[in-house]
A and B are shown apart, each in its own frame.
Chain A
Amino acid sequence: MIDVRQLRKRFGSVTAVSDVSFTAPNGRITGILGENGAGKTTTLALICGLLRPDGGSIQVGPGDHTPLARRRRVGALLDHKELYDRLTVRENIAYFGRLHGISPPDLHTRVQGVVSQLGLDRIADRRLAGFSQGERMKVALGRAIVHAPGHLLLDEPTNGLDIPSVHGLRGVLRRMRDQGACILFSSHVLDEVRALCDNVVVMSHGRVVARGSAAEICRQTECPTLEGAFLALTGREVIPS
């Protein structure tokens, strides 16, 4: 479970995140929905321990909550997800496994498991230069889950992917959710959120403006669609179709 309370972060005079609170339970996909610049990426970076918050608390699973401890429990695929082109798929994934302290005998099994799970067997021993966007995304996801994290954080993971790759990624995320993982997923694509997320947190201008299931958010705003609800919550005018 990820529990965020009154999280705050400023960059100079700009308030990126202000009093953000929400809970993402285990066995659920929680979507953070917001327009560009709403604070979604900053919130994920704070949860991962990449950025230091100016205030508030972050809890990722039980136990120690230092940034280093949080990073041990989290698998993350944030905005920057580039790989090492001169290494093979296996080497890329194994590198991150080693950084998570997986012992050599276990590492080989883990890497092979991830390679098979993501359908990368055919290209597992090829260096990454020349890979398609979809293949690169799968390798990046493989790196993020090689240590079998209980919590997965994804920042607009389907950007630039073709339809089969999006479909494959959704399948992987649903399988992980069904195995009990807590998945936190940021997007500004409504279809994506509707298709994947069990719970939704709507952010606008660095603040949480609504949370609940898509149906609950529609009820709260008295809008028949999530799109209408989102526009109403973010202060945009709903243009009748």
Chain B
Amino acid sequence: MATETGMSLPVRDLKLRMERVGMAFERDGKSVSVLEDINLDVSDGEFICLVGPSGCGKSTLLNLMGGFLVPTQGSVIIDNQIIRGPDPRRILVFQERGVFPWLTVEGNIGFGLAKLSRAERRERIDHYVQMVRLQGFEHTFPSDLSGGMQQRLQVARALAVNPDVLYLDEPFGALDSSTRLILRGELLRIWQRERRTIIFVTHDVDEAVQLADRVVVLSARPAKIQNVLTIDIPHPRNISSARYLERRDDLLKRIGLAYTA
């Protein structure tokens, strides 16, 4: 069951809406259009994956959603307000080197918690250290952590400020495949516990089918939304079940299409 558009959701559930969003950059005096006519509705607590060919603009789209870029056309609306810039209610997790090397694990997680009382901060930090399973490493510096642990730290830091939306830009891309599998499971576990809206960029088809409620397929540049594929398989998803494989094949076909669009 694939829906062709991403629209028409009850307003009360609506978290994020992209309305005719377009993005163009100036390069050497010329205007290069990266994204065109993006329309998408995301409901609260949904897990969305953005997939598409390399360089198609997935990261740009994510940055627009996060408020780091201002669209040249259209608007990004979160909680019924047009967003105007980055905000701690929408935290972006980067692919690499996002944690501050001069702060310990504790320091990084506590980065956004300056406004809380000492006791509250302590409690929050402990909670998230546990949640990403970094107990025992509270006083360690990121340079002594593995890549997978650093990404877990970034997620903990992001969650600690209780954002409404979490954006993840190929967060496991720089890690080896076994670590990736483990972290996917962890992310799902955390998501099921704390139910935030998650928008996850990846070029890995398996990752998208394993994680997402809906997968948004982008075409090549200038990117439009090619398809929106619904994955209505309940978690935990058996990756050798027929249902899963069917979805996966469907998605692969659609991305194959995306390359010639």
Mutual binders A and B: no
